[in-house]
Chains A and B, each alone.
Chain A
Amino acid sequence: MPLFQCENLTYYYPDREKPALKGIDLSIEEGEFLLITGGSGSGKSSLARALAGLIPDFYGGRFGGKVYFQGRDMGQMDRRKLAREVGIVFQDPEKQLVMTSVEAEIAFGLENLGLPQAEMSRRVAEVLSFLDLAEVRQEFTAHLSGGQKQKLALAAVLAMQPRALVLDEPTSQLDPVAAEEFFNLIKRLNEEMGLTIILIEQRLERCFHLADRVVLIEDGQVKYEGTAEQLARWAVAREIPFIPPVARFFVRLGFPSVPVTVKEGRRLLRSNFNYRKFPPLRPVVNENPGEPVLTMSRVWFTYPNGKEALQDISLQIAGGELVAILGNNGAGKSTLLKTMAGLLKPGRGRVQVMGRDLSNECRPGDGRIAYLSQNPNDYLFQDTVEEELLFTLKNFGLTDDGVVDELLEKLGLQRYRRVNPRDLSSGERQRVALASILVTRPRLLVLDEPTRGMDYRLKDELGGMLTGLSREGVSVVLVTHDVEFAAAYATRVLLLFAGRIVADGPKHQVLGQSVFYSTQIGKMCRGYVDGVLTLQDALDRLEPVWPARQAVPEVR
C-alpha cells in the first residue's frame, strides 16, 4: 500500500476561478525520495500543502478528489495524528519559527502534541544531537544564521517523528554552502532512517541526483513522472528547462545515458572524448569601456561593532557593464552594494557616481542610482502598480514623459496597471519593484540577490531584462549566490572575501579559474575544456569534436 495516494485531486483557492491543482493522480511509496519540480505558480507548493493536510484545512477553498495516507482519507484524519505522521518545512525559516530560543522551538510541536515531559526531553536531546544544534540550544533564534534557522525548522519537525517529510523549497533563502549542508542532511534522513522525503525544488543542480523519482508539475497538473534520467530526456526534447545543465548537455548531444551529477558527467567525458588541447577562450574585453559611471577609491567601511566589512575597495564600473558580485555570507557583498547606492557612507575613501561624490552627502540617490533590495515587498504600498511608479517620479519632482507606459510594457506589467501590487505573484512583485526604481531612468542599477526563489524561466526573463538595460548603457551591479546566473548574464565578475576584492575580471577569467565559484558545466569540463561556463559554451566547444559514433557505455 502506498504511503500517499492522490486520486483526481483538484483544488481552488478561495475566490479563485483557476484551479491550483487539476486532477492529480499520484502515489508515493514509503521510504521514497520524491522530487517535485515545476515553474513558479505551477501548483507544486499547493500539492505539498495538500500532502501535509494544510489544504483545504488551513486555506479553505474548493477541494475535489481524495488524498489517502496509508489508505486512510486525510480529510477524515485527526489533525494531531496527521501532524505526527507528516511534517512540513517551508521556504522561509523566518516565517516558521515561533519561539525565542532554539530548545523551546524544537519543543513547540511536542507541546502541541501533549507529550509528557520526559518524552519531550528525550526527543529534544536526540534531535539536537543528530542535527548538531546542541551548541546553540540556549541561543535566541534571532541570532542564528539562515542555514541554522532552516536546520532548526527541520529539527522542530523531526522531533515530532513523522514518517514523511515534505520540504517546500527549503533552500531558496540559503547561501550555496548552507543549502548543500541541508541537502546532505535530507539525504541522510532518507538513507539512514528510511524517512519518506517529498522535496519541492526548482534549483535542481544540487538535488536532482538525490531523487528516486521526479515529478514535473505544470499548470496544476502532473506533466511527467519518472526517474531523473527519464525526465531529463523528456524535458530536453520539449525545451522544458527544469533539468540540471549537465543532464541537458548530454541529452542535447544525444548520449544514450544521461548523467545528473558532475562526477558522472566527467566520467562520460573521459570515456567518450579524447583529451584535446583547446585554445583557451579569449575573454571579450572592451578595450575602451568609456567614462566610468561608478568610481570607488580606497573605500573602507566599519560597522559600529568594529567589524571592517569593506577594506580598501577600489574599482570602476563603466556604462553598460553587467557586474556580478559573488562571495560567501559575511564577505561584505551587501555592504558594498549599499555603499554604491549611497545608503552607507564609507569611513574612509570616496564613492563617486557620475562625478558626484556620495561619500559626503547625507541624502542618498538623486534618481541616477536605483537600488533593488532582496525583498520586493519593501517597495509596495500604493493601491495600484501605476501609482507605485508615479510615487517615485513625484519624490524626485519628475513628470511622466511616457516612461511609465514604456516600463509597464517592457516589464510585462501593462495588464496589471490598475491592480494592487500586493495581489501579484512574487515574480510580478519584483518586476513592479524594479519598475518603481527604473522610472527615473537611472545610470546605475544595483540589485541585492535578485534571483532568490526564482525558477529558470523567471531567471531567464530577469537576465534578459538586465542585459537589455546594460545594452542601453545602464551599469548593472548585482550581488548573487547564483553562479549559473552570473555565468549566463554577467560581463564581469567580482569575487569578495572578508571585505576585500580577491578577483575581478571578465566572467570567463574569474569563474573559469575558480574551483568552487563555478557552474555545474564548468566543473564538469574542468581539465578537459577549460574556460567553459555555460551549456552554450560547452556545446560550442564540444559538439564539433563529438564523434558521430555510439557512445562508450559508462564504466561503473
Chain B
Amino acid sequence: MFDQFFYQDKGLFLQSLHPAAALTYLGILFVLALVFTNPLYLLGLLLVVVLAISAARGLAVWEIYLRLSLGLLLPVIIVNALLTHAGKTIIWLGPRLPVFGRLTVSLEAICYGAAMSVRLLAIISIFCLYNLMVHPDKVLSLLARFASRSALVLSLATRLFPTMVRQMANIQEVQMVRGVDFHAGTLKERLPRYAALMNILLLSSLEDSLEIAEAMQARAFGSGRRSCYRRDTWRPRDSLCLGGALLALATAVYGQAKGFSTFIFYPQLDYLIKGPMTIIILIIIILSLSVPMVLSWGWQRCPYFNAKI
C-alpha cells in the first residue's frame, strides 16, 4: 500500500545517475527553492521539478503529494492573508477581533502566501523526486564512507519501516477481533486504543532488535574497521548533469546578487519583471536544470546517444 512512496527500480535514466551527481542536483534544487523569492522563478523551479518527476515516471505519486500539499497550502494562504497587516493594498476590511485587532486582507499578503505555497510545493516535490530517483542504498554507501554507523542505522530503519507498517496492520486486525473498536468514541477515548497498538509494536520490535543484533554480530559486525563495497561508476551523464546544476547555481547566485530573482512583497508589490535580464537569467536556470530531463529523453530514444553517455 505504501510501496509507491518508496524507491522502485524502473531502470530509468535518472535512476542510473551517480548518487553524488543526483544528490548535488537535488541539493541545488532545494537551495534554489529556499533562496528564490520571485514568484516567476519559484514557478519555473516547480516546473523543472515536475518535469523531472515526469521523467522519473512518478506523476501518479506526485498527484498524491499534490493533494496532500493543497490541504496544507490553502490554510497557509488564508491564515497569512488574515493575520499579516504589512500590505498597503487593502482589498477587504473585516471585523475587529481581540488580540488580533482589525482583520484586513491585503493584495500583498495574498501574493506572499501564494508565493510561499509554491515554494513549499516545490520543496515537497523535490522530496518526492528524491524518493523516485535515488536508491537509498546508494546514498547510504556514499554516507558510509564518512559515517558508517549512522549509515547503518539509517539502512536498518529504511529496511524495517515496511515490515513495521505491515506488522502494525496485523496488530490492528488482531485487536479488532478481540473487540477493540478503533472508530467508536471521541478522540480522547480512541487514543488509548492506538497507544496499545504502539505498545505491542514497540515490545515486538524490541524483541526483534535483539535477534537482528545477534545476526549482525554473527556476521562480524563491530569486529574491526569496515571496508566499503559499493563503488558507483561516474559516467559522462553524471558530469553533464552536475555541470548543468552548477551552472544553474552560479547563474542563480548572479541573479540573486543583481536582484533579478528576488521580489519584494511588502509594503507594496515589486515589479515581477525588472527588465529582459530577469527573463534571460530565468531561462538559463531552467535550461541548465533541465539537462537531466533532456538527456533522459535522448537516452530513451537514441541508442547511439545512450551508448555515449
Contacts and interface: CB of A to CB of B under 8 A. Distances in A.
A associates with B: yes
A80 B211 contact: no
Interface in B203-217: 203-204, 207-208, 211-217
B160 to A, nearest CB: 9
Nearest to A87: B218
Contact of B223 (A80, A139, A141): A80
Interface stretch (A10-18, A29-37, A93-101, A317-325): A93-101
A396 interface: yes
Interface string A155-192: 01100100000000000000000000000000000000
Nearest to B8: A140
A92 B208 CA distance: 10
B61 to A, nearest CB: 15
A112 B220 contact: yes
Nearest to B211: A95
A108 B211 contact: no
Contact of B211 (A57, A78, A92, A395): A92
B136 interface: yes
A97 to B, nearest CB: 7
A307 interface: no
A140 B6 CA distance: 10
B1 A304 contact: yes
Interface in B288-305: none
Contact of A110 (B9, B140, B159, B229): B229
Given A99-B137, A373-B170, A378-B170, A112 B179 contact: no
A526 to B, nearest CB: 39
Interface string B161-183: 01100010011011011111101
B200 A381 contact: yes
A379 B204 contact: no
Contact of B200 (A96, A367, A378): A378
B177 A437 contact: yes
A108 B137 CA distance: 12
B94 interface: no
B57 to A, nearest CB: 17
Interface in B51-101: none
B178 A111 contact: no
Interface in B126-183: 135-137, 140-141, 152, 155-156, 158-159, 162-163, 167, 170-171, 173-174, 176-181, 183
Contacts of A112: 219-223, 226
Given A95-B211, A100-B155, A114-B225, A365 B218 contact: no
B230 A371 contact: no
A392 interface: yes
Among A116, A153, A373, chain B packs the most CB atoms within 10 A around the CB of A373
B233 interface: no
Interface size class, chain B? 35 or more
A440 B152 CA distance: 46
Nearest to A111: B226
A317 to B, nearest CB: 17
A375 B212 CA distance: 18
Contacts of B140: 100, 104
A96 B212 CA distance: 5
A553 B39 CA distance: 93
Contact of B219 (A156, A392, A422): A156
B34 interface: no
A152 interface: no
Interface string A349-391: 0000000000000111101011101010111110000000001
Interface string B10-21: 000000000000
B211 A90 contact: yes
Contacts of A114: 224-227
Interface in A80-120: 80, 83-84, 87-88, 90, 92, 94-101, 104, 107-117, 120
Contacts of A342: 177
Nearest to A138: B9
- Which of A79, A100, A112 is the most central at the interface, judged by chain B CB atoms within 10 Å of its CB? A100
Contacts of A104: 137, 140-141, 155, 229-230
Given A96-B212, A115-B227, A379 B155 contact: no
A371 B180 CA distance: 13
B239 interface: no
Given A87-B218, A100-B136, A111 B229 contact: yes
Nearest to A364: B176
Contact of A83 (B7, B176, B219): B219
B164 to A, nearest CB: 11
A87 B218 CA distance: 7
A343 interface: yes
Contacts of B199: 381
A107 B181 CA distance: 46
B257 interface: no
Contacts of B170: 373, 375, 378
Given A304-B1, A373-B170, A380-B203, A437 B176 contact: no
Given A112-B219, A362-B183, A100 B159 contact: yes
B228 interface: yes
Given A365-B177, A377-B203, A377-B204, A98 B216 contact: yes
Given A54-B218, A88-B218, A377-B207, A79 B223 contact: yes
Contacts of B213: 58
Contacts of A381: 196, 199-200, 203
A436 interface: yes
A393 to B, nearest CB: 9
Nearest to B212: A95
B188 interface: no
A260 interface: no
A80 B224 contact: yes
21 contacts: A54-B214, A58-B213, A79-B217, A80-B223, A83-B220, A94-B208, A97-B215, A99-B137, A104-B140, A104-B141, A107-B230, A109-B220, A121-B229, A153-B215, A157-B219, A160-B219, A341-B177, A343-B173, A377-B207, A378-B171, A392-B179
Interface of B: 1, 6-7, 9, 135-137, 140-141, 152, 155-156, 158-159, 162-163, 167, 170-171, 173-174, 176-181, 183, 196, 199-200, 203-204, 207-208, 211-231
